[in-house]
Structure 1
């Protein structure tokens, strides 16, 4: 079960974002060859949307290693999403072309086939978060990590009234997400970007309900929504933390049956990102 072995951390510190970029460098530059490693001298894969994003990283609690990452690019008035810059998203296909849409991107997991370069690891103080480094996980655990990241990004988005997210993904990944119960609606033509990919709009709330109907294990995962993510700054102070520390039973999102057992605090001192998403 995901929560027994892993936790998702929201990167609310500069190091957290660097760690996210380090995982991306490992997967997109070294493992898949999507980007030129020589273009990133600090061994961190970066782009123009990092300052507009909520970054999530997955930690294996058994090994303390960081093994996966994804991000939610927040909608910001006057600034296109990555998928817009590729002309891969046809907003006229939306019921309301002006509605706020986030983008789930940089979805990556370090597989056990990865050749993690120990020499490129950070050189931190031995008792710090950085000392745990990055590591790989097997195929079964990759499936669990995928579910955990979907839960984290989904709950984070819904709490900020971002009900729809776009994903630019391969057919194989789309099939896997549909198998999990994620609702995908095509929102653009197939596009060449690191292979053929298609933009799909995801109704986040509908997907949570659909996924819960697919499996009792997934339903239980969403009912443990207090474990969706924890701030990496909190983990730096106490590495036993597995969930957010405060709850409120009256937040409208969690009046829905699927979330009723465990609920998240609607404001977690992240007003900067909330404001950014509403601009």
Structure 2
């Protein structure tokens, strides 16, 4: 019997609000998340961009999304997208294992010196109205900003789900198997979990991000609960400032996605220099 039909039959017998029905739905959801985590680790692998070659792959993906597809930044002859913050940032990528093509990237801006700002401080300082959680209140090495999340067009699934200018959209169904497609909607989640693993390992205590509220709601659905710390503003679309700590991440992440996070963390941990993550 198919899972959906089983749930419907149990619901018809015991009622939608019965403990049996709720328990079955909860179990089914956990199994689905475990399956997604398994598919993710089977087909996709997170990487830290230690080399110039890997950093360039990240910059090229960002160019495709931010300059060509979304038009947030102007095109250039080098066909890479970089800015002043990359000088003190770490990049994560997700690689499609079978064809060794990259399926997404995200960066962590990690200031160390007093004059090194987060992008949110330079361009959107007025968007933070929760003064107690403003980045200026904390030592530079304890803060970071998750930014420049980009997923190439071929790895996007539904055009209606274009979050943050780089989330999940249309996918080339001729290039990948039906089984592989099941994990692609979670590439953005995998990027956030990779960023979390890097920031936690680096001793960061406060993570910031400018994102669309609907992306924040999507993250909340799977247990990544960003706290909104300011109103919605017009910055490459309607966005708001959000904050999250490692404690908030661990406290709210469901068991199924905790498995996915731990798999990502262990994969990154096995890579060279994960403990130091040198900055340029």
| Cα drift, residue 189 of structure 1 | 2.7
C-alpha displacement of 1:200: 0.4
Alignment match of 2:99 (pick from 57, 63, 76): 63
C-alpha RMSD over aligned residues:
2.5
Residue 13 of structure 1 and its aligned partner are, at CA, apart by 0.9
Aligned to 1:244: 271
| CA deviation after TM superposition for structure 1 residue 24, in Å | 0.3
Aligned to 2:98, what secondary structure does the other structure show?
coil
Alignment partner, residue 20 of structure 1: 58
Q: 1:151 to 1:271 in 2, by over 3 A?
A: closer
Answering whether residue 115 of structure 2 is matched by residue 78 of structure 1, we say yes
Stretches of structure 1 lacking an aligned partner (at least 5 in a row): 115-135, 231-242, 246-266
- Residue 271 of structure 1 deviates from its aligned partner by 6.1
In structure 1, the partner of 2:204 is 162
Shift of 1:137: 6.7
8 Å contact kept, 2:128–2:134: no
Native 8 Å contact 2:194 2:265 kept in 1? no
- Find the aligned partners of 1:79 and 1:204 in 2 and give their Cα distance: 22
C-alpha spacing 1:200/1:137, structure 2 compared with 1 (3 Å): farther
Structure-2 change in CA distance of 1:67 and 1:176 (3 Å): same
Q: 1:11-160, aligned counterparts within 5 Å? A: 11-37=49-75, 40-76=76-112, 77-86=114-123, 87=125, 88-90=127-129, 92-94=131-133, 97-99=137-139, 100-112=142-154, 140-160=182-202
Provide closer, same or farther for how the CA distance between residues 147 and 208 of structure 1 changes in structure 2, counting only shifts above 3 A: farther
Residues 94-136 of structure 1: CA distance to partner in whole angstroms, max 9, x if unpaired?
188225321000011113388xxxxxxxxxxxxxxxxxxxxx6
Q: Kindly tell me: are residues 223 and 14 of structure 1, through their superposed partners in 2, closer, same or farther at Cα, counting changes over 3 Å?
A: closer
Indicate which of 218, 224, 246 corresponds to 2:263.
224
**Structure 2: gaps spanning 5 or more residues:** 1-38, 157-170, 174-180
Distance in 2 of aligned mates of 1:113 and 1:73: 25
Distance change in 2, residues 1:146/1:154 (3 Å): same
Tell me how far apart the structure 1 counterparts of residues 71 and 121 of structure 2 sit (CA, whole Å): 23
Shift of residue 91, structure 1, vs aligned partner:
6.4
Normalised TM-score (structure 1):
0.69
Q: Secondary structure at the match of 1:66?
A: strand
1:30-71 C-alpha deviation (Å, 9 max, x unpaired) = 11121221xx21100111101110011111001211121000
SS at match of 2:183: helix
Partner of residue 14, structure 2: none
Structure 2 residue 45 is the aligned partner of structure 1 residue 7: yes
Distance 1:106 1:137 in 2: 23
